[in-house]
Structure 1
Amino acid sequence: MNISSMMRRIGITAIIFVASAAATLTITPQHATAAPTRNPILFVHGWLGAAWNWQSMVSRFEAAGYSSAELRAFSYDITQSNELIAEEVKAEADALRGATGASKIDIVSHSMGGLNSRWYLKFLDGTRYVDDWVSIGGPNHGTEIAYGCFDVSCEEMRPGSGLLADLNSGDETPGGVTYGTWWSPCDEIINPDQSVLLNGAANTKTGCLGHVALLGDATVFAQVRDFVA
């Protein structure tokens, strides 16, 4: 074989090799990784509270990457029954879903907000639209402090009230919602302290924190953030 023929064969072989390698490289396309999703959050305050109670926690959620549109706090008339307040919770939940396009939301509640938001879940079809539910210092089985107040909503927080009997009858954590409670052994408003705990929920004992201090505590926030993530 002369040199010219040998060079032609080498060239043909090289072209075949390069073409084959190129074909091999295009066999496996790269797939983009889907961005993580999260639910918008509705914050429900307690008796004598208002939307401003959530300023610290909302700010921390924003610092964690949530947009203001994903975080909704509202105020309601605390003197009406928790059943009526639950209708407002439903309206706010629907509005948040509509504004964000989310199919489900999370609810973070404080104190009596745990009762009216539970009513929404159990009796107003809320379990269809809520993924995670949080009760921070909620009187889920009543508090003796409520014997000293006379608004209908506060009376409903008394141990053994009709509202509590309805909420706690049968399954305390109905539907496919993930339930979580946070309770403090030093809560001066919830008595007994362990009234907050619910059967079927992830119940977390905090440090020695007061009732309102629970909302501003960095550790409680971090735990709640991870729970709803």
Structure 2
Amino acid sequence: MLAGLSPARRRLVAALLALVAAAVLAGGAAWLLGRPAVGAGAPVAQERPGPVLLVPGYGGSTAALRPLADRLAALGRDTAVVEVPGNGTGDLAAAADALAEAAEAALERTGAGSVDVVGYSAGGVVARLWAADGGADVARRIVTLGSPHHGTALADLAGRLAPEQCADACRQLATGSPLLAELNAGDETPEGPAWVSIWTAQDQTVTPPESARLDGALELPVQSVCAQARVGHGELPRDPLVQAMVLEQLGAAPPAALGPDDCARLSSG
């Protein structure tokens, strides 16, 4: 086709083709889907809630998250519990890959522009790994529930006393593990989504409970809302008060601090 053109026109056409190729490479499939390319820097619209993905913790039990998923679904939210590989005890990076696949499937299924993610226990660390690897570009809200963002002494103990029974995820959740050291070395809450950390001061699995604090996130200890609340680590996804706190933060309104004045209202649900 170019052979019949003059040298000057051939150079012009070649330059235009190069520009088109560069644009396609930059936009890729995200452009074809009508969504910004990963890393494009477009802000995630906060007022349009999309599907919700719930990520289980160590052990991978999806049943623990089913009550919260059902409550979200009852409000009309498209909700899915992510199944993580290795029964939730394998490499957390592989679990983050599973979350990435689930997020892409949810966006394609619903046509939404973003997802909300709730990560329970180790699932919150998985959500952070996913966000750091590009997921922040399509996440509207990320809520972590009792997540050992800075490790847990329980994993430290398991690694010392029974190393043969401390699986990959167990070692990765130890205080100062290479995975957590890298994850926490920079910005703990990458720009894009709004971040919320909900945790309980009575946690005996994530020890100390303050390990669930996340720099840059809205911090919501359960007892800062209802001082007399008795919620352990295992109760976090199914406790009615905690569920109400999660629903509050996943609505169309921006995430907001909660306090004692909200205790009665949230507990009644």
TM-score range, shorter chain: 0.7 to 0.9
Q: Identify the match of residue 137 of structure 2 among 105, 118, 128.
A: 128
- Percent identity between matched residues is 30
Distance 2:130 2:49 in 1: 21
Distance 1:57 1:213 in 2: 11
Contact 2:49/2:114, CA 8 A, preserved across alignment? no
TM-score (norm 1): 0.80
Equivalent residue for 2:3? none
Which residue identity is paired with 1:168?
N
Deviation at residue 54 of structure 1 after TM alignment: 1.4
Q: Identify the match of residue 149 of structure 2 among 130, 136, 140.
A: 140
1:79-98 alignment to 2 at 5 Å? 79-98=89-108
Which residue identity is paired with 1:62?
A
Distance 1:37 1:81 in 2: 33
Partner-residue secondary structure (3-state), 1:54: helix
Which deviations, in whole Å up to 9, do the C-alpha atoms of 1:132-157 show, x marking residues without a partner?
A: 00100100000011121510111100
Contact 1:185/1:208, CA 8 A, preserved across alignment? no
Q: Rg larger in 1 or in 2? A: 1
Distance 2:143 2:246 in 1: 8
Equivalent residue for 1:6? none
Which residue identity is paired with 1:218?
P
1:1-229 alignment to 2 at 5 Å? 37-66=48-77, 70-76=78-84, 77=86, 78-122=88-132, 124-147=133-156, 148=158, 149-206=165-222, 207-229=229-251
Return 5+ residue gaps in structure 2 as ranges: 1-46, 159-164, 223-228, 252-269
Contact 1:141/1:196, CA 8 A, preserved across alignment? yes
> How many residues get paired?
190
Which residue identity is paired with 1:222?
A
After the TM superposition, which segments of 4 or more aligned residues of structure 1 sit over 6 Å from their partners?
none
TM-score (norm 2): 0.68
Q: Aligned-residue CA RMSD in angstroms?
A: 1.3
Return 5+ residue gaps in structure 1 as ranges: 1-35
Contact 2:57/2:120, CA 8 A, preserved across alignment? yes
Distance 1:79 1:218 in 2: 27
Deviation at residue 218 of structure 1 after TM alignment: 1.0
Which deviations, in whole Å up to 9, do the C-alpha atoms of 1:146-175 show, x marking residues without a partner?
A: 121510111100010011011111211011
